[in-house]
């Protein structure tokens, strides 16, 4: 049997129209996919820009953009399959059964998705805020459908599941425009705390980074092992916290040294067995007896 005889045996009138019909539907489905893909990205981008133009949160804009994009792509794929002749009702029933099985197998992912929606709705933080979540500190880069991404101060990325973020205490350091500093300042027991507080107060009053709208706290906090610890609590702008802390500590140290107030550090005295104790460590009664003038 020759190749020509095979071609003659095939009846074009039987398969030709079917092939042309399928080719037309396939071409239409591909056009639907291409146009739908382009429109999905276009519409999702417009949604994100519209929210950003109205002063909306960047996290909310990105989240809604991704959500709209996924929804439109799903609609596009369903439309293309319908044009190919795939029975949509049967497909949806099969997808429903498969979705139920996936939902049982992907409980954690669905929990992260629901938590992501709650994070976007409640908005405990915004893009760019510096937060502490589960002991992880960083600046919020974005909230994805399943995870939240933080950028640390040393430029590392921390990815946290949204369910973990939602179920843990969130400390937002950027939520307020003003922050209180707690500066560790100690003086020697021989120095007068009231005089030290006066010196520190002058530093705070003259420093440009300290807010004058809030009164700073200056208190004697506790008696340490080798120092009297003071509580120095000025208010500064949130955006200047690190630089203000550094500048104030340097200025307070310089002011205390200029006022001849000692900033102590822990010291240890070693004494070998058999050596007489130093004068300052002898019993008080013995030192008092030596101080009595002899006639």
pTM of the predicted model as reported, rounded to 2 decimal places = 0.58
pLDDT at 152: 93
| Token couple for 15 | 């398969």
What span, in angstroms and rounded, lies between the C-alpha atoms of 249 and 238? 17
Which residues contact residue 13 at a Cβ distance below 8 angstroms, ignoring those fewer than 6 apart?
A: none
Q: Which CATH number fits domain 124-172: 1.25.10.10, 3.40.30.10, 2.30.30.60, 2.60.120.10?
A: 2.30.30.60
Please state the rounded mean pLDDT for residues 142-147. 82
| Token couple for 71 | 């929804």
Please state the rounded mean pLDDT for residues 248-256. 95
For every residue of 29-64, DSSP letters joined together read HHHHHHHHHHHHHHHHHHHHHHHHHTT--HHHHHHH
* 214-233 pLDDT per residue, tens: 999 999 999 988 899 999 99
* 68-117 pLDDT per residue, tens: 888 888 888 877 777 777 676 666 666 666 666 655 555 667 788 788 87
- Given a cut of 50, whether residue 288 has pLDDT beyond it is no
For every residue of 109-176, DSSP letters joined together read HHHHHHHHHHHHHH-SS-TT-EEEETTEEEEEEEE-SSEEEEE-TTS-EEEEEHHHHHHS-EEETTSS
For 283-289, which contacts have Cβ atoms below 8 Å and span 24 or more sequence positions?
none
What CATH number has the domain spanning 13-105? 1.10.287.1260
What span, in angstroms and rounded, lies between the C-alpha atoms of 129 and 170? 11
Pair 183, 168: CB distance under 8 Å: no
What CATH number has the domain spanning 178-258? 3.30.70.100
Domain segments of the chain as ranges: 13-105, 124-172, 178-258
Which residues contact residue 264 at a Cβ distance below 8 angstroms, ignoring those fewer than 6 apart?
A: 186, 187, 188, 189, 226, 227
């Amino acid at each position: 049997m020759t190749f020509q005889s095979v071609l003659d045996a095939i009846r074009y009138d039987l398969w030709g129209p079917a092939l042309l019909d399928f080719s037309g539907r396939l071409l239409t489905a591909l056009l639907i996919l291409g146009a739908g893909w382009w429109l999905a990205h276009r519409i999702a981008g417009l949604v994100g820009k519209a929210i950003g133009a109205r002063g909306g949160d960047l996290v909310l804009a990105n989240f809604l953009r991704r959500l709209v994009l996924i929804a439109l792509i799903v609609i596009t794929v369903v439309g293309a399959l319908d044009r190919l002749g795939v029975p949509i009702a049967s497909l949806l029933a099969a997808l429903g059964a498969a979705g139920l099985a996936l939902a049982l197998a992907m409980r954690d992912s669905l929990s992260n998705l629901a938590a992501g929606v709650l994070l976007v709705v409640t908005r405990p933080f915004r893009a760019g805020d510096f937060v502490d979540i589960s002991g992880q500190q960083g600046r919020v880069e974005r909230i994805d459908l399943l995870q939240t991404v933080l950028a640390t101060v040393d430029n590392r990325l921390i990815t946290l599941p949204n369910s973990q973020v939602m179920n843990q205490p969130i400390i937002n350091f950027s939520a307020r425009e003003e922050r209180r500093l707690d500066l560790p300042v100690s003086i020697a027991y021989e120095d007068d705390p009231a005089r030290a507080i006066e010196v520190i107060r002058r530093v705070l009053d003259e420093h440009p980074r300290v807010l004058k709208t809030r009164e700073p706290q200056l208190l004697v906090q506790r008696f340490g092992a080798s120092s009297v610890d003071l509580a120095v609590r000025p208010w500064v702008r949130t955006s200047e916290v690190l630089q203000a802390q550094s500048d104030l500590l340097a200025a307070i140290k310089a002011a205390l040294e200029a006022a001849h107030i000692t900033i102590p550090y822990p010291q240890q005295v070693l004494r070998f067995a058999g050596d007489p104790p130093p004068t300052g460590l002898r019993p008080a009664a013995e030192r008092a007896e030596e101080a009595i003038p002899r006639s």
